[in-house]
Amino acid sequence: MPVPVPRPRAIPAVESGQAPAAPIGGPSKEETPRKEATVVDNAATTNLTLLLIEDDPGGSPIVPDLLDSAGKPIRVRTARNLTEAERLLTDDVHCILLDLALPAPGRAQGDEDELAVLRHVLELAPRHAVLALTASGDAERGAEAVRVGAQDYLFRDELDGRLLSRAIRYAVERKRSDTAERKLAEGRLRAQENRRLERGLLPTPLLDGSSLRFAARYRPGRSRALLGGDFYDTVRTPDGTVHAMIGDVCGHGPDEAALGVELRIAWRALTLAGLCGDELLNTLQQVLEHERGDDEIFATLCTVDIAPDGRRAGLCLAGHPSPLVARPGRRPQLLPYDNNGPALGLLPGARWPRMQVELGSEWSLMLYTDGLIEGRVGDGGERLGQDGMVEMVGRQLAQGLRGEELLQAAVNEVRELNGGELTDDVAVVLLDRVR
């Protein structure tokens, strides 16, 4: 609500279509081209500029001593109609004073929308502060104008320079605050939507009926992201075989993350359809070649298919590090990687041999991406490597860590050894078989 003020004093006429003479602010900038910018952000460092839109400038409420909070004169431009207003509405205008009695363009006779002109101005100038000018006693219309989008309303015959100067400053600051709050809310909403989207793209293991225990950790290298170029999945087919996969698309951006999701979904569909080994990887390579945005993009992959009895598995490696297996009473070790084939997308017609490995009656099998082993150790630039990882996991197993706790401890220690956040994506999958 406006603050009551003294009765008005005499008001000089202001020439329509141009800025008034000094001391109000100097020549008009009518020829300045409009730019896409947030005009209210300039208010704190430059003289304020007011655009008055009124069809009777001779009866204008503008007084010649409008000052901002620093005592600088507020520049004034006048427009008799919205056509002139649009021409004068450049980026150095901070506030609009709109006479609500001004007819709106295209308004049909009998149209009862008394705020049509305000709606038009708000659409024309969404980034500008707007003050609505109405007749004395018409508070209801003024309040409705604020509800529609104006920053405040003023009564024509209860206006003087002090009140108008203060109202302009208030409107500009309120618009600035509203704009910042809206951008913050939009940013939070986008972040929430992105988190929901990325969380929905992470896999839900399909292991119903299996006695194996599953755990996974995922840490994208991109700042403030939930999904990177690493991907993994685990499913159990009707014959009782448990299939697990982990892969890494080269690069760390959103395109690589999207491609990783596509490959994961394709792997799940192909596995459930009965493909495995070389046939499955060959089909995945075709998917990669069709979906990648650049011929240089490739992906490494590790797949294992664990027999229904849980004692043996088939292993295929496409340029990917070999899994780690740990058994009771024995040091952890890497599975054989002599027949490691090329990464997907590098060699047309490549082959990926499937190796048969013995797991035993009780074991833990850890699949991981290279982000876990390429972190630095100390200040010398040395990498942790697979040997360092095997030693680290062996020590953590000896401390009694299992499942999620083991993976969390492994990722945390790798990060600490690196001296800070890892720049590469990290994905780790752990499958356990216990008696």
Q: In what order do the strands lie in the sheet with 312-318?
A: 230-236, 242-249, 299-306, 312-318, 355-358
Does residue 326 register a pLDDT over 90?
yes
Please provide the DSSP assignment of 162-173 as one string: HHHHHHHHHHHH
DSSP assignment letter at 370: G
Residue 347 pLDDT class (50, 70, 90 cuts): very high
What are the tens digits of pLDDT across the range 43-60?
445 578 888 888 765 555
Does residue 308 register a pLDDT over 50?
yes
What are the tens digits of pLDDT across the range 376-423?
987 777 999 999 999 999 999 999 999 999 999 999 999 999 988 888
Residue positions counted in the chain: 435
Average per-residue pLDDT in the chain? 83
Q: Give the predicted TM-score (pTM) of the model.
A: 0.60
Residue 275, judged by CB atoms within 10 A of its CB (0-12, 13-18, 19+), counts as middle
Strands 152-155 vs 129-134: parallel, antiparallel or unpaired: parallel
What are 427's strand-pairing partners? Answer: 218
What are the tens digits of pLDDT across the range 149-194?
999 998 887 777 788 888 888 888 888 888 888 888 888 877 776 6
